[in-house]
Amino acid sequence: MYLEAVLKSSSRHAKPAGLILQYGTAGFRTKAEDLDHVMYRMGLLAVLRSKKTQSAIGVVVTASHNPEEDNGVKLVDPMGEMLAQAWEVYATLLANAEEHELQSVVTDIIQQESINMQEEAFVAIGRDTRPSSETLSQAVIDGVTALEATYHDHGLVTTPQLHYIICCRNTGGRYGETTVVGYYKKLSRAFKELSKQAHGCSDDHKCLNVDGANGIGALKLREMEQYLQSALSVRLYNDGSKGKLNEVCGADYVKVQQKPPEGIEMEAGERCCSFDGDADRIVYYYNDCAGRFHLLDGDKIATLISTFIKELLVKVNLNLQMAVVQTAYANGSSTRYLEETMKVPVYCTKTGVKHLHHKAQEFDIGVYFEANGHGTVLFSKTADEQIRQLAREEASDERRKAAQMLQNTIDLINQTVGDAISDMLVIEAILSLKGLTVQQWDAIYTDLPNRQLKVKVADRKVIETTDAERRTVKPPGLQEKIDGLVKKYSQSRAFVRPSGTEDVVRVYAEADTQENADALAHDVSLAVFHMAGGVGDEPKPLK
């Protein structure tokens, strides 16, 4: 019986008794040495999910932007989305079951979901460059084979590449060829087609400095270069040959620290971008002539892309509804610019790709980006079909060309999930088509100064939020306190939320000046520290 095999193999991936892990914003994530049993069990879960959905399911071993010593796992659903939220409960139960409970947890899932164990199952596996990832992905494979399912180990891939592969496989190749090479070919073809329509682009447009976070993104970008040929030239830094993964580099570091990564050479005015550790996020930046650093985060990217698409939509004159989806972290200026100047409807959801992605699916064209640089554009089936038809058949040159540009944009963007490489190519194509320098892009609107801080508390779950995490409902009195603090500053806003990936409470503040944003963030941190059970030293003011 299959359960015997499951238990037998499980003894080789035994759970440390008493260890409890939470399914975070995007799967499990913690110190690599605590994850072997989780990986094995996520292999089991992927098989069950595959049988249930009668589709291929993906498993990526990665801890994204976390330190190299950490690891984690993300499950990929049939269309390349993140695992359905209803199944996160099963993931948690499985990960935390003691050895003697494993059998009953597996049986319960099978029963509750009425899974036919005779169904075929297929799991695609990928991993990032962490030293622990290879062994951990072997544990996933052991889980998959314990349930006698078939699998393909794609080895080293970016997270979005595995999402792409799952989508291709489950659409019978309609989304693209089911290989990493297929991904390179599809994206580079669309990029070349789209860029072709740019006139007189100067040399400056051609070279881009890329910080690969010493991770998988660097490796894969290098592989892709042969397909892009001269269409884009990049100077790759932090390619993993010297430094440590995510250490003083990468998109998260740049966004949170608001400074360039180490290990990159940037001349004034040169375009630079950073990927995160699994290449599903990207941020851009540059230094001006005075040596001042400027960050173009997910909000700036969302604005650039949605403006570009909106202009094309006007030209093709199709009745398609576009919206932008953001989170509470979106800079107030970006929301304002989108709503007031661009007249694009904007929606706010909770942090985490799954929330933004689902909201974006409600529109013909849903652009979603988190300020941290994770995002993509979703085109509904209707939008896709109408655009492709116009691109083929339309008699008017202008309309047809605009439709072709939209079609290439659809093919270039990875619609399954945010993708640093794909987003980078979309941005590069738009900048060159519009003849924009990075400074001109940056000048579309001015960010409100902002600050993010973390506060350590004994139990971060004492903080409960509402209104897409913009307000707290617990502990009592905290929101009133924050409201009072916010009133002290102008153009100000602040919120706090428990992190889904780290054992901390996150604080965000924005205000008219950097000093005020810093002061407000500090005030709010103190409130959290005192009202939500802070541990260690009281937060110190920022210098």
Catalytic site positions: 64
Sheet holding 28-31, edge to edge: 28-31, 70-76, 56-61, 122-127, 150-156
Judged by CB under 6 A, the chain residues 296 through 355 that form the site for ligand 16G are: 351-353
List the interface residues with ligand 16G, window 54-73 (CB under 6 A).
64
Among 49, 374, 460, 481, indicate the residue that binds ligand 16G (CB under 6 A): 374
Beta carbons of 323 and 363 less than 8 angstroms apart:
yes
Q: Which position among 88, 113, 247, 502 is part of the footprint of ligand 16G (CB under 6 A)?
A: 502
| 216 is an interface residue for ligand 16G by CB under 6 A | no
* Residue 274 makes contact with ligand 16G by CB under 6 A: no
Closest distance of CB 283 from Mg ion, Å: 12
Verify binding: residue 22, ligand 16G, rule CB under 6 A: no
- DSSP code per residue over 375-393: EEEEE-HHHHHHHHHHHHH
In the stretch 440-479, what mask flags binding to ligand 16G with x, by CB under 6 A?
A: ----------------------------------------
DSSP string, 467-514: TTTTEEEESTTHHHHHHHHHHTSTT-EEEEEE-SSSSSEEEEEE-SSH
Which residue's structure tokens are 């010593």?
A: 69
Out of 21, 26, 59, 194, point to the residue binding ligand 16G (CB under 6 A). 26
Considering the complex, what minimum distance in angstroms separates the CB of residue 502 from ligand 16G?
5
* Number of chain residues interacting with ligand 16G (CB under 6 A): 14
Nearest to 343 by CA among 316, 311, 370, 299: 311
| Phi-psi category of residue 344: left, alpha or beta, with phi > 0 → left and psi -120 to 50 → alpha | beta
Stretch that binds ligand 16G, among 171-179, 302-310, 369-377, 487-495 (CB under 6 A): 369-377
- 237 bridge partner residues: 211
Handedness of CA 265, 268, 271, 274 (dihedral sign): positive
Nearer to Mg ion, 143 or 250 (CB): 250
Q: Exposed, middle or buried: residue 106 (CB in 10 Å: 0-12, 13-18, 19+)?
A: buried
- Shortest spacing between CB 418 and Mg ion, in angstroms: 8
Q: If binding is defined by CB under 6 A, does position 163 make contact with ligand 16G?
A: no
- C-alpha pair distances (Å), 124 with each of 27, 78, 157, 331, 471: 17, 11, 11, 37, 39
Where does this chain touch ligand 16G (CB under 6 A) — which range of 87-95, 170-178, 233-241, 496-504? 496-504
| 404, interface contact from ligand 16G, Mg ion, none, CB < 5-8 Å by kind | none
Per-residue CA distances from 448 to 40, 189, 334, 454 (Å): 45, 38, 9, 20
- The answer to whether 219 and 156 are in contact (CB under 8 A) is yes
Where on the chain is the footprint of Mg ion (CB under 5 A)?
Answer: 64, 276, 278, 280
Task: Kindly give, in sequence order, each residue whose CB lies less than 8 Å from that of residue 101, ignoring residues fewer than 6 positions away.
Answer: none
Nearest-approach distance from CB 485 to ligand 16G, in angstroms: 21
Which span sits near ligand 16G by CB under 6 A: 50-58, 293-301, 401-409, 500-508?
500-508
361 binds, among ligand 16G, Mg ion, none (CB under 5 to 8 A by kind): none
Q: How far is the CB of 164 from Mg ion (least distance, A)?
A: 15
For the bound state, the minimum distance from the C-beta of residue 280 to ligand 16G, rounded and expressed in Å, comes to 6
Which residues bind to ligand 16G, rule: CB under 6 A? Answer: 25-26, 64, 351-353, 370, 372, 374, 499-502, 506
